[in-house]
Amino acid sequence: MDASLDALLKARLAALSEAKRLRRLRPWQWCHGTLHDVDGRALIDASSNDYLGLSQHPLVKARAAGWAERYGAGAPASRLITGTRDITLAVEEKLAAFKHCEAALLFSSGFQANATVIPALAGLKVGAGDTANAPAIFSDELNHASMVHGCRNAKAKTHVFRHRDLDHLDELLRQQAGKPGRKLILTESVFSMDGDRADLPALVQLAERHGAALYVDEAHATGVLGPQGRGLAAECGGGVDVVMGTLGKALGAFGAYIAGSRTLIDYLVNCCPGFIYTTALPPAVLGAVDAALDLVPGMDEDRRRLADNAQRLRDLLAQRNYDTLGSSTQIVPAVIGSEEDALAAAQRLEEVGVLAVAIRPPTVPTGTSRLRFALGSTLDEVTMQRLLTTVATHLPPHPPKTD
Ligand SMILES: *Cc1c(COP(=O)(O)O)cnc(C)c1O
C-alpha cells in the first residue's frame, strides 16, 4: 500500500523542520493602529507594507464601510457575468488616471495578476495553428515568486538575467535576436527583498532596441515613489507596456491592477483566465481603493518623511558594517548571512520591542539571510528615534569580512 497523503506531507514537514525551515503562522493583534503580540506587548512595526498607514486612515475605512453598507458585502459574480458595476469601472478609470495610462483592470491579488497575466501575454497567438510565433521571456533573477510562477505557467522559454544587470539582459536578448515571437522583459520597479530600484529608463531603451515589450511590477512603488506616488513607470512617459501594481500595500486596501493601453486591457478581459474565472472585488475593497486614490497624490509630506526615515536607518546600519544591498527605498535589508544568525538577530530585536522579520531562503539566496526593515510614514519622530536607538543598542556590529 502507498503511504497516505498525510504521511507523505508529514515526512516533508519533518524534513523542513530538520533543516530549520519550518514556518508557522504567528497571530498578531492590532489595537488602534499599533502592533501587539499575543501577550499584548506593543511592538514598533518595522515589517509591514502599509507604507502610508492608509489601512487605518479614517477616510479609507469610512468609504469601505459606506460602500459595503450601500452595495453589499460581496460582488455577485465574476466580471463578465454580473460582477462589473458602475463603481468597479469608476475605480478602474481612477486607477488609469493615477497611473497616467489609457486603461486599468482590477485583479483579486497581485499574485493572481502576475501568475496569470504573464502566461496570457507570453502565450499570445494571433490565429489557430500560429505556432512559429514562439515568444520568449526575460526575467530578473530576483523577481517575486508570483512572477516566477507566471513564467513557469507560460508556454515560453524564460531567460533569467542577473539582478539589475542590463549588459547581461542585452546579451541574452541578442542571442534571441531574429527568432520569431514577441519578447517580454519582466522586472520589479522596487525589489521587494532588497529595496533597490530597476533602472526603468534604461530598460525602456533596451526594450525598444530589441523590439521587446516591458512588464513592470510596481507592488512596492505604487503610492510611495514617482511623481505624487504614481510609481516609477510614471517617470518613463509611457515607455512601459504593462504596469502591474498592488492595492494591498501602500494603498492600504486589497487586490491589484494592470494598467496600460486600452488594447492591452481589452485583450486581458478576453484572454486572461485569472481575470475571467474569478469573482469581482467586493464593494468594501473598491471603496477603500477609491478613497486611497483620493489621498495618495497629496501625501508628498508623508513620502518625504518615509524616505528620510529609511535614509537614517541605512546610515546607522552602514556605520555598523551591515550591507544594505543598494536599498534606496522604504525597504531596508541588513544582510546577516546565515539563517540562524538572522533569526537570532530578529528575536533579539523583538525582545526589546522592534519587529523586523528575518527573511531567509528560499525567499532570498542562500547566505544572504537578513533582517528586512519595511518602514512606514506613520512612524513619528519619537518612535523613529526609539527604533534607531534600539537597533544601535541591540544589533551588534556586523563582523568584518575575513577574505
Ligand atoms: C506582494 C507582492 C505581490 C503579490 O501581491 P498580493 O496582492 O499581495 O498578492 C506581487 N509582486 C510583488 C513584487 C510583491 O511584493
Question: Phi-psi region for residue 303, left (φ > 0), alpha (ψ -120 to 50) or beta?
Answer: alpha
DSSP string, 158-192: EEEEPTT-HHHHHHHHHHTTT-SS-EEEEEESB-T
**143 Cβ below 6 A of ligand 1:** no
- Numbered ranges of CATH 3.40.640.10 in the chain: 58-297
- Pick the residue whose CA is nearest to atom 10 on ligand 1: 110
| pLDDT on residue 400 | 79
C-alpha cell at 106: 482590477
> What's the CATH code, domain 25-52+299-394?
3.90.1150.10
Q: How far is the CA of 189 from the centre of ligand 1 (A)?
A: 12
Nearest 5°: the CA angle 69, 71, 72 is: 70
Encode pLDDT of 284-304 as tens digits.
999 999 999 999 999 999 999
pTM (2 d.p.)? 0.96
Question: Phi-psi region for residue 143, left (φ > 0), alpha (ψ -120 to 50) or beta?
Answer: beta
The separation between CA 240 and the C-alpha centre of its own chain, rounded to angstroms, equals: 17
In the three-class reduction of DSSP (H, G, I as helix; E, B as strand; rest coil), residue 320 is classed as coil
Write down the residue that cell numbers 468597479 correspond to.
Answer: 88
Distance CA 356, CA 369 (A): 13
| pLDDT on residue 133 | 58
Q: How far is the CA of 104 from the centre of ligand 1 (A)?
A: 17
- Pick the residue whose CA is nearest to atom 7 on ligand 1: 110
Q: Which residues does 175 contact at the CB level (< 8 Å), separation at least 6? A: none
Distance CA 222, CA 329 (A): 12
Active site residues: 49, 144, 188, 192, 217, 220, 249
**71 Cβ below 6 A of ligand 1:** no
> Count of alpha carbons within 13 Å of 20, Cβ hemisphere only?
8
Encode pLDDT of 143-173 as tens digits.
999 999 999 999 899 999 999 999 999 999 9
Backbone φ and ψ of 315, nearest 5°: -60, -45
- Numbered ranges of CATH 3.90.1150.10 in the chain: 25-52+299-394
For residues 43 and 36, is the Cβ–Cβ distance under 8 A?
A: yes
Q: Which residues does 153 contact at the CB level (< 8 Å), separation at least 6? A: 115, 116, 118, 119
CATH class of domain segment(s) 58-297: alpha beta
**140 Cβ below 6 A of ligand 1:** no
Q: How far is the CA of 246 from the centre of ligand 1 (A)?
A: 6
Q: H or E stretch including 152?
A: helix 145-153
**191 Cβ below 6 A of ligand 1:** no
Distance CA 290, CA 91 (A): 6
- Pick the residue whose CA is nearest to atom 8 on ligand 1: 110
**114 Cβ below 6 A of ligand 1:** yes
Q: If you compute the radius of gyration of the chain from its CA atoms, what whole number of angstroms results?
A: 22
78 CB-contact burial (10 Å; exposed 0-12 / middle 13-18 / buried 19+): middle
Q: Which residues does 275 contact at the CB level (< 8 Å), separation at least 6? A: 79, 105, 107, 116, 117, 268, 269
Per-residue pLDDT of the chain (403 residues; tens, 9 = 90+): 678 999 999 999 999 999 988 999 999 988 777 899 988 899 999 999 999 999 999 999 999 999 999 999 999 999 999 999 999 999 999 999 999 999 999 999 999 999 999 999 997 776 666 654 567 999 999 999 999 999 999 989 999 999 999 999 999 999 998 888 889 999 999 999 999 999 999 999 999 999 999 999 999 999 999 999 999 999 998 899 999 999 999 999 999 999 999 999 999 999 999 999 999 999 999 999 999 999 999 999 999 999 999 999 999 999 999 999 999 999 999 999 999 999 999 999 999 999 999 999 989 999 999 999 999 999 999 999 999 999 999 999 998 766 5
**390 Cβ below 6 A of ligand 1:** no
- Pick the residue whose CA is nearest to atom 6 on ligand 1: 110
